[in-house]
Chain A
Amino acid sequence: MTERERYEAVVVGAGPGGAAAAAVLARNDVETLVLERGVEAGSKNVSGGLLYAEESAPYAIDDLFPGFREAATERPVTDYYLHNLAGDRVETFDITDLHEHDTEWSDAVLRRKMDSWLAERVHELTRETGGGLLTGVRVNGLLREGGEIVGVTCDELDPIEADLVVAADGVNSELARDAGLMDWEEPEEWFQGVKAVVDMPEGAIDDRFGLDGDEGEAHLFSGDLFEGVRGGGFLYTNEDTLSIGTVFHLDSLVAEEAEPHELLDALLTHPLLARWLDDGYEEFEYAAKLVPDSKKVAHPSPHEARLVLVGDAAGQMQAQGPIIKGMNHAVTAGALAAEAFSEARSRNDPDAAGDLYERKLRDEGVMKKLRPPRYRAVRALAEHDPVTDALDAVLESPVGRFGVRALGDRLETLYGSPFLSMMVPDTRTPYVTLPTVIAEELGERIGGENDVDPPDLADRIGDLTYDVDVGNPHIEVDDDSFAASGDAVTACPVSARDFGGGCYREETVRTNGDERTVVSLDTQPCVECGTCAVVADTDWEHPRGGKGVEFRQG
């Protein structure tokens, strides 16, 4: 038996959080091994697509990786709009000021391109420490000795010991769950996003949006187009493609039994989109992602012994009103965790890294952004059904409508307030009722037909690249009764009612004269978003290294 391998630090996941952690560790001469399960960094990663560098943050990604914006991002966001929609009435607010609050820069990104570029730099940096970056390796759990965390276990490698384990393994972090720090219990703690990366003819983005090559736009959409499901849509301009997607509260998706891909289609085929899209609509990629709601799940103490959680793994994804920031917080958290370890190590007390990391998250103001105290106050008051009903009734009444008309242009200013955006409650009022009333009262009718014909789900799945781990499904349904797991049929972004080509299907089983409705699962089309881990009763794992879906855009 050869000796067990050992590194000072093992970073699990090569997204922005893991990359930042690894870069700072390497610069502090910490021997660092980075393990990424995708065939290439970025192949398992999806985000809506805006990456921020905040003025108030201690780290920005381009400081850690010189040349980052030139090489790895798409267009900067130079204008930001919020569209309130009701039928074909639209009232558009310019929220560029809100967007620019505390923003040094903000670029649209596609994750395959971005993360694979980062991974090359990370490998160069960490290789000099005696470590390096490996792809196609899935870390499947924590290595424990006498109950203590001493490293990680992998599918493809023998167990590895480390003084520091950075879990940057994303929203469905298996390490965070192994440590008991995160779970998949409550749908109201999560959002689910789906996104289409849309091919655009050469020059079309500049022409149709009225942009110069180095400018870009972001658009948000809310109102009555999503069947009352709480959430909204977005559109970001990339170099030659568009990222168009929708994000909804998972509990609301489940309650309304909505099909995520249909809600995306509702946005794509809305008359407003006709100014940018035509009948030549073509999708490069359909993707989905579970998004933690940091207000509820950002772990206040994201560490356990030698394990620290960064980014989505720790629930560090800020979504408040129109402000959606995740990757920048992951970068800051990764860098702070690395900083904490180097300091603790130089004091010969590496085990103190976790506590120090927690303190840094607090002292640098990260936790305050992720879990704003003001939201907590609003939530206590506003997130109750009777309050929501009353508020909605008032808004929709002549009195409320008069108020909206009276406020008129001042509404745009109010929407642009960073102070107010911290307090937006997670109810249908801000997502559905208010934007609908605003559009009805203040909006203008938009003419024109939308000729977009989005691909159906079967085509979207057919266009994705998979390396199926035949005979070794990574998800198993523990309770296949419809009561326990039926929500997955609609909520899973690659499943739908009356669709046989998806992951989850409703089936009727007759045995001995009994008839039972059950849920059956085929993991082949899985996009590894983790939705079913929350809404169904499953035993959920990631596929082995290099297996499963491979995103080309992300």
Chain B
Amino acid sequence: MNMVVLTKGVPDFREGQVSFDEDGHLERGETPTVMNPNDEHALEAALQTKVRQGGTVSVMSMGPPGYGDVLREAMESVYADDLYLLSDREMAAADTWATAITIATALEEMEPSPDLVFAGFKTADGETGHAGPQTCWAYGMPIVTHVVSLEIDPDEERLRAKRLVEGDIEEIETVETSLPAFVVADPEFEPSYRRAEHRLRHRDLREETRERAADHEEHMTVWDHADLNLDPDYIGLDGSPTVVSSVDPIPKAPAEREATMVDPERDEEMRQVFEEMAPLAGGE
């Protein structure tokens, strides 16, 4: 089973990490780049498949050379075998369309060709959720989105997945498709290791990967547009049909509730809290 996980480096939007300027614009230089949080679920789905079925996992990303660290992070969490970075000025400032064309071409370039491609459910910066399905369309394979659990039948070359219908955990359907296929893991994806042999293999992989990740650059292939035989007019900014006319910061929502600070040491203040809360406990 040859698997590829697509990942993206995004600004670390966690409190304390992210910086905005006075106008509310992201200060890219001041904000560290991390692996897109949703991609973790894609990595987990790939790892589960590798542990259960064996095979190799490659992690692929498109971005500046500095994305090597993001790929190393991905390598550590998915115990990946090798890394692919699509990095080239011509690829820069691509919208999801141009990104999809680039990645799909890279997937075609891979030897041996992938049986399964995994991606997370939308990135934390663009939040479009388009790049995955567009890549899949450009490459030409079936896609299963919002996957919460996954079984592979390598002999029959089929996958069976449980997926959320309308993104709702209340409604789950089971779908089957042939391989190769594209799987978008939902944040609700839960890897399951119910056999000791799987957990032992998981442990082996972790130990193997620790050594590999230490010099991850040895395992990284960097491709530019020439390597992929891509026409610069169809990738990057030039190949992006999306036009960004302006960016407006999202205004802060006005606070609807009023906060009162109380000192827990002061009985009188705690009594007020109690009196405020007592009616709620009564179901009112």
Give the segment of B4-12, B28-36, B191-199, B234-242 that binds chain A.
B191-199
Q: Are A127 and B194 in contact (CB-based, < 8 A)? A: no
Residue contact A131 to B194, C-beta cutoff 8 Å: no
Interface-central residue, A123, A131, A132, A156, by most chain B CB under 10 Å: A132
- Chain A residue at minimal CB-CB distance from B194: A158
Bound Cα distance A238, B221 (Å): 51
CA distance A33 to B201 in the complex (A): 13
Query: Is there contact, CB below 8 Å, between A160 and B196?
Result: yes
Q: Does B203 contact A (CB under 8 A)?
A: yes
B197 touches A127 (CB 8 A): no
A134 interface hit (Cβ, 8 Å): yes
Question: What's the Cα separation between A131 and B203 when bound, in Å?
Answer: 12
- B110 close to A (CB within 8 Å): no
Q: In the complex the two chains form, what is the Cα distance from A72 to B196 in whole Å? A: 27
- How many chain B residues sit at the interface, stated as a range, is under 10
CA distance A123 to B204 in the complex (A): 11
Interface size on A, residues (CB 8 A): 15
Contact indicator A131/B195 (Cβ below 8 Å): no
Q: Contact between A132 and B195 (Cβ–Cβ < 8 Å)?
A: no
- Is chain B's interface secondary structure helix, strand, loop, or mixed overall? helix
A residues less than 8 Å from B203 (CB atoms): 123, 132, 134
Instruction: Give the contacting residue for B195; candidates A35, A123, A127, A158; CB below 8 A.
Output: A158
Q: Is there an interface contact between B200 and A132, defined as CB atoms closer than 8 Å?
A: yes
Interface residues of B in 138-180 (CB under 8 A from A): none
Distance of A367 from chain B, by nearest CB (Å): 33
Report chain B residues within 8 Å CB of A156: 194
**Which B residue sits closest to A123, measured CB to CB?**
B203
Q: Are A134 and B195 touching (Cβ within 8 A)?
A: no
Which residues of chain A are within 8 angstroms of B195 by Cβ–Cβ distance? 2, 5, 157-158
Contacts of A132 in B (CB 8 A): 196, 200, 203
> B102: shortest Cβ distance to chain A, in Å?
40
Taking CB atoms and an 8 Å cut-off, the chain A residues in 402-442 that contact chain B are: none
Contact in complex: B194, A134 (CB < 8 Å): no
How far apart are A8's CB and chain B's nearest CB, in angstroms? 13
Residues from chain B with a CB closer than 8 A to the CB of A127 are 200, 204
**Chain B residue at minimal CB-CB distance from A4:** B195
* Residue in A2, A5, A123 whose beta carbon sits within 8 Å of that of B196 in the complex: A5
Flag if A134 contacts B197 (CB, 8 Å).
no
Residues of B contacting A35 with CB < 8 Å? 196
Partner of B194, one of A7, A33, A157: A157
Of residues 105 to 152 in A, which have CB atoms within 8 Å of B's CB atoms?
123, 127, 131-132, 134, 137
Minimal beta-carbon separation of B203 from chain A (angstroms):
7
B202 to chain A, nearest CB (A): 9
A33 CA to B195 CA, complexed, in Å: 12
For A179-211 the 0/1 string (1 means CB < 8 A from B) is 000000000000000000000000000000000
- In the bound assembly, the distance between CA atoms of A134 and B197 in angstroms comes to 10
State which residues 1-46 of A face B: CB under 8 Å.
Answer: 2, 5, 7, 33, 35
Distance (whole angstroms) from the CB of A342 to the closest CB of chain B: 21
Q: Which residue of B lies closest to A2 (CB)?
A: B195
Q: Give per-residue flags for A288-324: 1 if the beta carbon is below 8 A from chain B beta carbons, else 0.
A: 0000000000000000000000000000000000000
Smallest beta-carbon distance A309→chain B, Å: 22
Q: Across the interface, do A157 and B196 meet the contact criterion of CB distance under 8 Å?
A: yes
B178-216 contacts to A (CB < 8 Å): 194-197, 199-200, 203-204
Cα separation A364 to B203 with both chains bound (whole Å): 38
Chain A residues contacting B200 (CB-CB under 8 Å) are 127, 131-132, 134
Give the distance in Å from the alpha carbon of A127 to the alpha carbon of B196 in the complex.
12
Which residue on chain B has the smallest CB distance to residue A10?
B196
Residues of A within 8 A of B204 (CB): 127
With CB as the reference atom, state the residue of chain A lying closest to B199: A134
Query: Chain B 116-139 against A: per-residue CB contact (8 Å), 1 yes, 0 no?
Result: 000000000000000000000000
Alpha-carbon distance A2/B194, docked complex (angstroms): 11
CA distance A7 to B196 in the complex (A): 10
* Cβ contacts under 8 Å, A2 to chain B: 195
Binary flags per residue of A142-173, CB closer than 8 Å to B gives 1, else 0: 00000000000000111010000000000000
Q: Could you tell me the distance in whole angstroms from the C-beta of B49 to the nearest C-beta in chain A? A: 15
Looking at B196, B199, B203, which has the most chain A CB atoms within 10 Å of its CB? B196
Chain A residues contacting B197 (CB-CB under 8 Å) are 5
CA distance A7 to B200 in the complex (A): 13
Min CB distance B207 to A, Å, is 10
List of A residues within 8 angstroms of B199 by Cβ: 134, 137, 157
Interface residues of A in 484-536 (CB under 8 A from B): none
* A158, B204: Cα distance in complex, Å: 20
**Could you tell me which residues of chain B, from 96 to 129, have a CB within 8 Å of some CB in chain A?**
none
Chain A residue nearest to B201 in the complex (CB): A132
By a beta-carbon cutoff of 8 Å, the part of chain A in contact with chain B is 2, 5, 7, 33, 35, 123, 127, 131-132, 134, 137, 156-158, 160
Please give 16 more A-B residue pairs, beta carbons under 8 A apart, in addition to A2-B195, A35-B196, A127-B200.
Answer: A5-B195, A5-B196, A5-B197, A7-B196, A33-B196, A131-B200, A132-B196, A132-B200, A134-B196, A134-B199, A137-B199, A156-B194, A157-B199, A158-B194, A158-B195, A160-B196
12 A-B pairs whose Cβ atoms sit less than 8 Å apart in the complex: A2-B195, A5-B196, A5-B197, A7-B196, A123-B203, A132-B203, A134-B196, A134-B199, A134-B203, A156-B194, A157-B194, A158-B194
A-B complex: 10 closest residue pairs judged by Cβ atoms? A132-B200, A158-B194, A134-B199, A5-B195, A33-B196, A157-B194, A157-B196, A5-B196, A134-B196, A160-B196
